Amino acid sequence: MIPLDVLGNAIVMTVVITVSSFLIGAILGVPLVLLRTSRFGVVRVLTRALIDVLRGVPPVVWIFILYFGVSSDVIKLDPLTAAIGGLGVISCAYLAEIYRGGLLSVHAGQTEAAQALGFGQVGIFTRIVAPQAFRVCLPSAATYGIGLLKDSSLASTIGVAEIAFRATAQARSGGDGITPFVIAGVLYIALSMPLAYLSRTLDTKLRMKVSV
């Protein structure tokens, strides 16, 4: 059996990868969605192409490009940074599209009404559009976060000691090829549960406050 502290570290590592790459995506997704909905057609088309390329190549290929390619040609990256970087870059593309869906769901009449009431550009966005868009984005963003939790297992392929990595090591050394992976699977499900629960309760609360 794996010592508990090793298992604990593996769980922490999985959470660190998931949370960091989600945060990178959530932050970088904002400028990306602004470019994606820009007034200039060229900017829109280029951003859309970028998003399509980021989403069209398997995540593990991005992680490999960062870890084996960029790391040997440009700047040395340790496995954890490469994994977080790769997943973060993909997340920003997915989250930008989720943001866009949220923004589109806010009726244009809302913006017009705010303009008529004398709100400024910034006020319209921060006080009228963003809160309603956030409500719409939340369930999709949470679903994406759960997907990201599972994708964090890809970090094991470049040697980050997270849950899947520990399970593989255990299976190789112990000869029992089933138990470690079943435990790993259950751990991933257990980790995703609070996230799903949080998203559901927050969604219900927001639904009562903001209606779109």
Partner 1 sequence: MNGLIEQWIDWLPSLVDGLGVSVQLAVVSLLIGLPLGLAEALLVASPNRIVRWITLAVVEFGRGTPTLVLLYLIYYGLPSQGLVLPAFGSAVVALSFMTGAYTSEIIRASLQAVPRGLVEAAAALGINRWGTFRFILFPEGIRIAIPALMGFAIQLFQTTSLVFLITLPELLSRAYSIGSTTFQYTSVLALAGVLYLLVTLPSGWLAALLEKRMGRHLA
Q: Can you give the binding site for partner 1, defined by CB under 8 A?
A: 52-53, 55-62, 64-65, 68-70, 72-73, 150-154, 156-157, 164, 167-168, 171-172, 175-178, 181-182, 184-185, 188-189, 192
- Pick between residue 125 and residue 181 the one whose CB is nearest to partner 1: 181
Burial of 169 (0-12, 13-18, 19+ CB in 10 A): middle
Is 206 in contact with 138 (CB distance < 8 Å)? yes
- Pick between residue 7 and residue 130 the one whose CB is nearest to partner 1: 7
In the complex, least distance from residue 46 CB atom to partner 1, rounded to whole angstroms? 15
- Pick between residue 128 and residue 184 the one whose CB is nearest to partner 1: 184
In the complex, least distance from residue 187 CB atom to partner 1, rounded to whole angstroms? 9
In the complex, least distance from residue 4 CB atom to partner 1, rounded to whole angstroms? 20
List all residues 6 or more positions away from 55 whose beta carbon is below 8 Å from its beta carbon. Answer: 90, 93, 94, 97
Q: Is 45 helix (H, G, I), strand (E, B) or coil?
A: helix
Query: In this structure, what is the dihedral angle of CA atoms 188, 190, 149, 84, given to the nearest 10 degrees?
Result: -90
- Pick between residue 41 and residue 56 the one whose CB is nearest to partner 1: 56
Pick from 187, 160, 182, 186: which is nearest to 171 by CA?
Answer: 182
In the complex, least distance from residue 69 CB atom to partner 1, rounded to whole angstroms? 3
